Each structure stands twice: as C-alpha cells, then as structure tokens.
Amino acid sequence: MIVMMKTGKRVWSLDGGFDAATSSSNGLIYALTSSGTIYGDKVFVIDAGGQVLQQAKLGPFDLTLDGERHALWLVGKKIIKCDLDLNLLLELDSIGWCAVSVDIAPDHSAWIAERQHPDIANSTNRLVKVSPNGRIKRQWDCNGLLCACGLTL
C-alpha cells in the first residue's frame, strides 16, 4: 500500500498485497489482504504514519466503514460487522458463493452485492439490504441481469 499526498509526494508505503482499503475521519486506515483466494485473508488497522495497530483474520473480499456507528462491514463468504477494534459484532452466513461489494446507506443499513458462480450450487446474483442489527431486510434477485461489482450509495 502506498499513501501519497495530492501533490504526488509519497508519504509512506507498506508491503502486504492489500486489495481494498477505507479511511476513517480520525486518519486510521482499514485495509484487507488476500491470500490468493477470493475470500481474502486479513483486515488491518493502520495509523496515519503507516504503522499496523491491529489485524484480524476475517477473510473479506470488500469492506466499508460506518463512521457514525463506529462499525466496519466486511463481505466475502459471509457478511460480518465489527467494531473499529476488529471485534466481531455480528456474522451472517447467508452468501452462496461470494459477496463482492458493500456500502452503507444513510439509514446505516448495509447494501451488499452477491455474485453467482456457474460451478457453485446456491450461488446467485442478488442485492441484499441488511439492517444495522444484522437482519436481512430485503433481497433483489439479479439473475438474468448484470449485478453491480461495486456499490456506491
């Protein structure tokens, strides 16, 4: 991971094969790595100077931060919600193959895009809305349609 100023000047770099990251208003970076599988490997908390403060083996494909609720949502094989110290708050095992994108709505629900795999039974293309307390509120079947690979709300 390389962090640069808007001018293009390098601030710091960190080895590790990072696949996705998000930053908080207090300057902390939450980043994930992959171990060569689609399900990911670890989540890291990194300070503004590039020092790893914490890590947890949670295996996500994507992540997003709900800064107002002090929560991190992770998706991949499962739907996971953690506090900002990476302590597990909830875990839903409702993904057939892989959830590939997550974002937070203004009501703090998580919107998740799941993808179908032709060789995986029970996998499907769908959008899922999950309440802040972990209840699946709604699902939309996207089979026959191209589902989003990246959500932005």
Residue 10 has pLDDT above 70, yes or no: yes
pLDDT given at position 112: 96
17, pLDDT greater than 90? no
Contact 74, 60 (CB under 8 A): yes
Which tokens sit at 127? 């959008």
Does residue 38 sit in helix, strand or coil?
coil
- Mean pLDDT confidence for 118-140: 92
pLDDT of amino acid 35: 79
Percent of the chain with pLDDT over 70: 93
Q: What is the pLDDT of residues 19-73, one digit of tens each?
A: 999 999 999 999 999 878 888 899 999 999 999 999 999 989 999 999 999 999 9
Q: What is the mean pLDDT of the chain?
A: 90
Residue 94's contacts (CB-CB under 8 Å, 6 or more residues apart) are: 78, 79, 128, 136
Q: Which DSSP category does 143 fall into?
A: T
With a cut of 80, say whether residue 149 has pLDDT above it: no
| pTM score | 0.88
Mean pLDDT confidence for 90-101? 93
First to last CA, the chain: 25
Helices and strands per DSSP (H, E), number in the chain = 0, 14
Tokens of 142: 């996207």
Task: Show Cβ contacts of residue 149 under 8 Å, excluding neighbours closer than 6 positions.
Answer: 100, 101, 113, 115
- Domains of the chain are 2-141 (2.120.10.30)
- What pLDDT sits at residue 152? 54
